[in-house]
Amino acid sequence: MTSVLYDAPGPVTRRRERIGSVVGAVVVLALAFLALRYAAGRGVFQADHWDVLHNPPKGQSAADVWRSILVRGLGATLRAAAVAAPLALVLGLVLALWRTTRLRWLRVPAVAVVEVFRGLPVLLMMLVGTLALGMDPFGGVVFGLVVYNMAIFAEILRAGLAALPKGQAEAASAIGLSRWQSLRHVLLPQAVRMMLPSLVAQLVVLLKDSSLGFIVSYPELLKAIQNNGQYFGNRYFVALFVVGAGTYLAVNLSLSAFARWLSRRTGARAGAVGDPAGLALVASRPSRRRATRARP
């Protein structure tokens, strides 16, 4: 039995895969056991190393600690990501369309912009925003996230457009759609749905990259954890970083679950646009609107 891309594994290969999976699982469990044993030997699991989460010292309450992490720290992280993500997506879409133009003298500058900003570190862009451009820490973080991620989003969307069958654009042109109408109604919906997993993965990267903001003194989640660790003492760092890691995981897994729901939600609509009946339906929409405007 074969699939489109590769031959299905035979009995010998499947047996080797099972053996490799068992060996890999044993190695991972052994490493996890050694790590836990080492941590236990350092006293990480002692109750007094976790008091900061329910009975912190220095006259502070547990509510103060959790508020500094989940309200101020996580709130600052989400605020930067919520501002940077839409801007990066919009600019990435503009760059992707700019790069796919048929005019070479217009396409070359777009290629240069994408390649330059894709090759620069996010932290460098944050430092440029805060030190060179005089932005506040929030503006510097958003600037760095937008400049870097717009180039990545542009490449993802361009790859989605390039992966579509040429017949899609030819069929749209054959029924009288302009290039902009073809992109808007036929090509972009399919490209976005095709590349949705990559787009969401990059959004997760954007959210995690906001943790670099602590270097430019932006009070995001990692900075809040660091401040609490320095204030209460080094023995609480593990507990605080466990809370931070769990918070990042909860947010990122929620974002991935939302993306899967959105993919299922938009699947039928994108499929309808890709077939000939969907193309005919799209082609008829402009004429109906013109007919409506022409009525007295």
Spatial contact of 247 and 97, defined as CB atoms under 8 Å apart: no
> Residue 18 pLDDT more than 50?
yes
Looking at residue 93, its amino acid is: L
> Residue 194 pLDDT more than 60?
yes
Q: Look up residue 154 and give its two tokens.
A: 């542009």
Rounded to two decimals, the pTM is 0.75
Residue 7's pLDDT band (boundaries 50, 70, 90)?
low
Q: Once rounded to an integer, what is the mean pLDDT over residues 154-181?
A: 75
User: Nearest Cα to 123, choosing from 103, 143, 96?
Assistant: 143
> Residue 66 pLDDT more than 60?
yes
pLDDT in tens, 93-148: 888 888 877 777 877 888 888 888 888 899 999 999 999 898 999 999 999 999 99
Residue 270's pLDDT band (boundaries 50, 70, 90)?
very low
CA dihedral for 151, 156, 160, 163, sign (positive or negative)? positive
How far CA 230 is from CA of 46, 69, 234, 276, in Å, comes to 19, 14, 7, 63
Give the whole-angstrom CA distance, residue 252 versus residue 246: 10
Report the chain's mean pLDDT, rounded to a whole number.
80
pLDDT for residue 146: 94
Higher pLDDT among residues 106 and 18, named by residue: 18
Domain regions of the chain by residue span: 62-294
> Residue 260 pLDDT more than 60?
yes
Rg (CA), the chain: 25
Spatial contact of 198 and 263, defined as CB atoms under 8 Å apart: no
Element holding 65 (H helix, E strand): helix 62-66
Give me the CATH topology for the region 62-294. MetI-like fold (1.10.3720)
B/e letters for 191-205, b = 16+ CB within 10 Å, e = fewer, are: bbbbbbebbbbbbbe
